[in-house]
Amino acid sequence: MGKKDRNAPRTAYVTLRDMPGTRVMFWVVDECPYCGERHLHLAGNLRDADPADTLVEVAAPCAPERRYELTLPPRPKRKVAKDERRKARRAARADTLTDDWDDEP
């Protein structure tokens, strides 16, 4: 087992924002993995650019010799308990409907 490569690019989670009054979009790195500051990276024009194309490995503005990869933050996992509550509600609703049908002559 070797040591972790220290020159490997780190991941930086980004959010897409547009500049008010213009058509320019930016990827905003809220916390740089190297300095902890906020950085902006051009994502393109609102009309004719796909911002996903600019989610690539870029040089960090605070240290140009270091690089990080722009990625979207992970989506939260779906809660299992929520599904169980839905199933219980549906089952209870189905029971009340069948009870109502049984009571009718």
DSSP designation for 38: -
In 3-state terms, what secondary structure has residue 28? strand
Q: Is the pLDDT of residue 15 over 70?
A: yes
The position carrying tokens 């930016």 is 26
* Diameter over CA atoms, the chain: 82
Predicted confidence at residue 86, as pLDDT, reads 85
Q: Which pLDDT belongs to residue 98?
A: 59
pLDDT score, position 4: 60
Between 82 and 73, whose confidence is greater? 73
Is residue 55 within 8 A of residue 43, CB to CB? The reply is no
Give the global pTM.
0.64
* Residue 77 in this model has a pLDDT that exceeds 90: no
25-45, pLDDT tens digit by residue? 999 999 999 999 999 998 888
- Cα separation, 21 vs 46, whole angstroms: 12
Residue 56 has pLDDT above 60, yes or no: yes
DSSP per residue, 73-100: PPPPPPPHHHHHHHHHHHHHHHHHHHHH
